[in-house]
Structure 1
Amino acid sequence: MDANDGFRELDRQECLGLLAGVPVGRIVYTRQALPAVLPVNFCLDRDGAVLVRTSASSELVSAIEGAVVAFEADVVYATAHSGWSVVVMGPATLVTDPGEHARLLRTGPRSWVPAPQEVFVRIAPELVTGRELVGGRTLYGVHLPS
Structure 2
Amino acid sequence: MNAAPDPVVNLTDDQCWAVLSGCKVGRLVTCVDRHPEIFPINFVTDGRSIVFRTAEGTKLFTVTIGSEVAFEVDGWDGTGGWSVIARGAAEQVRGDSEIDHLETLPLRPWVPIVKTHWVRIVPTEVTGRQFHFGPEPEKDYSLTSG
CA distance in 1, matches of 2:87, 2:81: 20
Contact 2:109–2:115 (Cα < 8 Å) also in 1: no
Partner of 2:39: 38
Match of 1:21 in 2: 22
- With normalisation by structure 1, the TM-score equals 0.81
Q: What amino acid maps onto 1:60 in structure 2?
A: K
TM-score norm. by structure 2 comes to 0.81
2:36, 2:115 → 1: CA distance?
Answer: 27
Q: What displacement does 1:17 show?
A: 0.2
Matched position secondary structure for 1:126: strand
| Pair 1:69 & 2:52 matched | no
| 2-structure distance, mates of 1:4, 1:106 | 41
What are structure 2's unaligned runs of at least 5 residues? Answer: 136-146
The runs of 5 or more residues in structure 1 that have no matched partner are 139-146
1-structure distance, mates of 2:112, 2:93: 17
The AA in structure 2 aligned to 1:63 is T
Report the counterpart of residue 144 of structure 2 in structure 1.
none
1:116 shift after superposition: 3.5
Identity of aligned residues (%): 34
Residue equivalent to 2:128:
130
After superposition, the Cα gap between the structure-2 partners of 1:117 and 1:54, relative to the gap in structure 1 and judged at 3 Å, is closer
Q: Is the alpha carbon distance of 1:49 and 1:113 closer, same or farther for their aligned partners in structure 2, counting shifts above 3 Å?
A: same
Mean Cα deviation higher: 30-39 or 3-12: 3-12
Question: Aligned to 1:129, what secondary structure does the other structure show?
Answer: strand
Find the residue that maps to 2:114 and give its secondary structure: coil
**Which is further off, 118-127 or 31-40?**
31-40
Runs of 4+ in 1 over 4 A off after TM superposition: none
Aligned positions, number: 131
Q: Secondary structure, in 3 states, of the residue corresponding to 1:103?
A: helix
Name the SS for the 2:123 alignment partner.
Answer: coil
Q: Contact between 2:72 and 2:83, CA under 8 Å: does it hold in 1?
A: yes
Matched position secondary structure for 2:104? helix
Larger Rg: 2
**Aligned match of 1:142:** none
Aligned to 1:8: 9
Report the counterpart of residue 98 of structure 1 in structure 2: 96
Tell me by how many angstroms 1:4 deviates. Answer: 9.2
Give 1:59's aligned amino acid.
T
Q: Distance in 1 between matches of 2:58 and 2:36?
A: 14
User: Which amino acid in the other structure matches residue 52 of structure 2?
Assistant: V
Q: Provide the secondary structure at the position in 1 that maps to 2:102.
A: helix
